[in-house]
Amino acid sequence: MSQQEPQADIDLDPVTFEVLRSSFTNLVDRMAEQIQRTCYSFVIYNRDFSNCLNDAEGNTVMQGSQDIAVHVGTLHYTCQETLEYFEGDIEPGDVYIVNDPYLGGTHINDVRIMRPVFHEGELIAVTQSNGHWADVGGPAPGSFNIAANDHFAEGLRIPPLKIWDAGEFRDDVANFMTTNMRLSEDRMGDLRAQAEATRIAEERLLELVDKYGVETVLTAFDESKDYAERIMREQIRDLPDGTWHTRDYIDADADQGDGYVTVDVEMTISDDEVHYDLSGSDQHIGNFLNATFGTSFSGVVAGTKMFFPEVPLNSGMYRVISAELPEGTVVNAPEPAPVTGSVAGAYEKVMNAIFELWSEVLPERAMACAFNLEYLLAGGTDERPGHEGNEFAWYDWMAGGWGGRNGKDGANATAPVFGAGLAVQSLEGQERDTPLLTSQHSIVTDSAGPGEYRGGCGLRKGGRMLECDNSVISYCSDRARSVTWGINGGLPGIPHGVTLTRDGETEEMGTVFSSEPIEEGDEFVRPSSGGGGFGDPLDRDPEAVLEDVKDDYVSIERAAKDYGVVIEEIDADRCEYEINDDATAEKRRYIRANRDAWLREDPQDVVSQYHDGEVDRLDLIRRYGVILDWTTGELLEQTTAEFREMLRDRAASEWS
């Protein structure tokens, strides 16, 4: 036990307690090792999964050390719902499966396998594995259907079912489910891998029971939760009481068009508890970016946990946190509203809003907005030599930039905040399995939000279709309009979106579309944003800007426009550049004198300058606060007004 952690007031002696607490962590991490080595899905192999140990009431005792953030606050809800569903009919050898997002889950791709653990006929625990299945049916490969008006058009919704009944595998149930999913053999393989992980956890837990006794192990369950609660309460108690408020935004409601969808978060600290009120959020929307209760509560937990990394993550921590998530809102969409894209939509807005709130309370840990999760999916028939007629599914996510921090730049090319444990998928592995060739994968110059401490840089990834038939692509993301924002004077990153080139014609596709036909030779490119900046960019050390130019993180042009640092190229091949000190001082005076007025310029005049080539896209966003429909080039008047208000609150209000 580290000296920083308070001594637990426990019934067990401290050594036994620490050994068992660590053993529970090891047990869950063993599950992860089992899944990663036996899964069929490339998505799960790249760590889009989580595991946990639940007690007999469904409360979380321990999660894995690299679990996906969006799962952490939901697994106990799913377990509790399943135990209630099968109350009176739970037997040794049973294994349950569920993916129902309205029973405390996330979205239908997250399939949970649960195994009740018995000792001498008494239920003592449940071992649980959650894996993101790359397809669970529905009209769009990957089950991300932007056209869905309800969950019936997304894929197969699975209520709690017995997949093993008293040790007997129910082939009929498994075949029914997987037959209604693409690549059904892979789905069956993932099902068995997850079930085996829960069996290994059961085996290990019973070994602990044999060694220490059932009462000692169950006491350690309770004390592990109590311990996490005590640590969290002690840390909250040391903070000032008060209420803090902010908002983040989803780009738009597909049924409404122009104008943001608000995710409103109010945080209140009272003594040793934290309460979040999201009742000011907008009503649920007409596409799949809605979140369920479980997803949003998970965002609350994960956003809070980011600022308290030393607190163990289990249901003890959840006792300190409460959340008001009114049904019918975008953060608690009612059945049967579509929710498959929730993590790219409402979920990450909840997390980033909470980052901002805690940045005010704990400024030494402050961090601006991180880039938005994005998924690009392709599916169809592989027609490469040796693969003719095989079904394929390409399911990809990118790394991007996290927000600038108080005293430090943001992290470059990092997994999204929804799942910091995610791996960047192997390009070679993707190319082996699918008819898709990666054409580029590199850091995007000027993607990082400018600030005294800039955001981390985003990436650009491109692909070209090889021999294929009946193939389509889909994309799920956000922040083409609610561009990744900075705090304390920092500026935004870049918009997300896909560009598709076919037959020599290039088209901007936006951030949400499904089942777009794609053929051999078609190419697509999409960037991930950098994180938002922290602090006024004009306060950044010019030498730091110079280093960013040398690293291709910032262009010479944007060094001048965003940071007011004038850099002259001496020899680019030898990476020799020089700061013009006099020109830099003058440039910074000019920007300081004009930047407030730029945010008041007539948006229509600015758009005309853009179409005439006098200003570029980043000028629109960072200098003038103007947002367009990037697929058409049309001004979004309401969105622009809301974006400018956000820039004034988070950036201009901090400028000197």
Q: Got the DSSP string for 481-518?
A: SS----BTT--------EEEEETTEEEEEESEEEEEEE
Whole-number Å distance between alpha carbons of 28 and 62: 7
Cα within 13 Å of Cα(434), Cβ side: 26
Judged by DSSP in three states, 536 sits in coil
Please name the residue ranges forming H helices in 132-256.
Answer: 171-179, 184-212, 214-237
Would you say 146 and 514 are in contact if contact means Cβ atoms under 8 Å apart? Answer: yes
- Where residue 598 falls among pLDDT bands split at 50, 70, 90? very high
What mean pLDDT, rounded, does the chain reach? 95
| Residue 481 backbone dihedrals phi, psi, to 5 degrees | -115, -45
> Cα–chain-centroid distance for residue 211?
40
Report which DSSP code applies to 75: H
Q: What angle do CA 154, 160, 164 make, to 5 degrees?
A: 115
Whole-number Å distance between alpha carbons of 232 and 316: 9
Report which DSSP code applies to 453: B
> Could you give the C-alpha distances from 20 to 167, 217, 219, 228, 362, in angstroms and in order?
28, 7, 10, 14, 32
The per-residue pLDDT for 7 is: 43
Instruction: Read off the pLDDT of each residue in 435-446 and give the average, rounded to a whole number.
Output: 97
Would you say 274 and 267 are in contact if contact means Cβ atoms under 8 Å apart? Answer: yes
Residue-wise pLDDT for 219-237, tens only, equals 999 999 999 999 999 999 9
Whole-number Å distance between alpha carbons of 140 and 286: 17
Judged by DSSP in three states, 463 sits in strand
Whole-number Å distance between alpha carbons of 441 and 462: 7
Q: Where are the domains of the chain?
A: 14-232, 368-535, 549-595, 599-656
Whose CA is closest to 409, among 323, 526, 490, 321?
490
Say yes or no to pLDDT of 282 above 50: yes
Whole-number percent of the chain with pLDDT over 70: 98
The per-residue pLDDT for 3 is: 35
| Cis peptide bond prior to 141, omega within 30° of 0 | no
Instruction: Read off the pLDDT of each residue in 36-62 and give the average, rounded to a whole number.
Output: 95
Q: What is the enclosing helix (H) or strand (E) of 651?
A: none
Enter the tokens of residue 231. 């640590």
Quickly tell me which residue has 């560009």 as its tokens.
499
Say yes or no to pLDDT of 1 above 70: no
Whole-number Å distance between alpha carbons of 143 and 288: 11
Whole-number Å distance between alpha carbons of 225 and 54: 11
The per-residue pLDDT for 471 is: 97
Whose CA is closest to 338, among 515, 75, 145, 158?
145
Whole-number percent of the chain with pLDDT over 90: 94
> Could you give the C-alpha distances from 317 to 15, 72, 362, in angstroms and in order?
22, 11, 19
| Residue 393 backbone dihedrals phi, psi, to 5 degrees | -140, 120
Buried b (16+ CB within 10 A) or exposed e, 72-101: bbbbbbbbbbbbebbeeebeeebbbbbbbb
- Where residue 533 falls among pLDDT bands split at 50, 70, 90? very high
- Where residue 421 falls among pLDDT bands split at 50, 70, 90? confident
Say yes or no to pLDDT of 5 above 60: no
Whole-number Å distance between alpha carbons of 126 and 547: 52
> Could you give the C-alpha distances from 130 to 144, 164, 197, in angstroms and in order?
18, 17, 10
Judged by DSSP in three states, 344 sits in helix
Please name the residue ranges forming H helices in 39-128.
Answer: 42-45, 69-72, 75-85
Residue-wise pLDDT for 326-353, tens only, equals 999 999 999 999 999 999 999 999 999 9
Whole-number Å distance between alpha carbons of 478 and 281: 17
Q: Got the DSSP string for 257-280?
A: -SS-EEEEEEEEEETTEEEEE-TT
Strands of the sheet containing 468-476, edge to edge, are 390-397, 375-382, 468-476, 512-518
What are the residues facing 635 on neighbouring strands? Answer: 628
The per-residue pLDDT for 357 is: 98
The per-residue pLDDT for 596 is: 97
| Residue 268 backbone dihedrals phi, psi, to 5 degrees | -125, 125
Enter the tokens of residue 55. 């007690």
> Could you give the C-alpha distances from 66 to 27, 31, 120, 421, in angstroms and in order?
13, 11, 33, 5
Cα dihedral 649, 354, 338, 380 sign: positive
Whose CA is closest to 401, among 491, 302, 291, 308?
491
Find the distance separating the first CA and the last CA of the chain, reported in whole Å.
Answer: 46
- Where residue 68 falls among pLDDT bands split at 50, 70, 90? confident
Q: What is the enclosing helix (H) or strand (E) of 641?
A: helix 637-650
Whole-number Å distance between alpha carbons of 421 and 62: 16
- Where residue 11 falls among pLDDT bands split at 50, 70, 90? confident
pTM of the predicted model, to two decimals? 0.94
Whole-number Å distance between alpha carbons of 30 and 53: 12
Residue-wise pLDDT for 378-411, tens only, equals 999 999 999 999 999 999 999 999 999 999 999 9
The per-residue pLDDT for 65 is: 79
Whole-number Å distance between alpha carbons of 518 and 61: 46
Would you say 292 and 244 are in contact if contact means Cβ atoms under 8 Å apart? Answer: no
> Could you give the C-alpha distances from 335 to 105, 107, 259, in angstroms and in order?
12, 12, 25
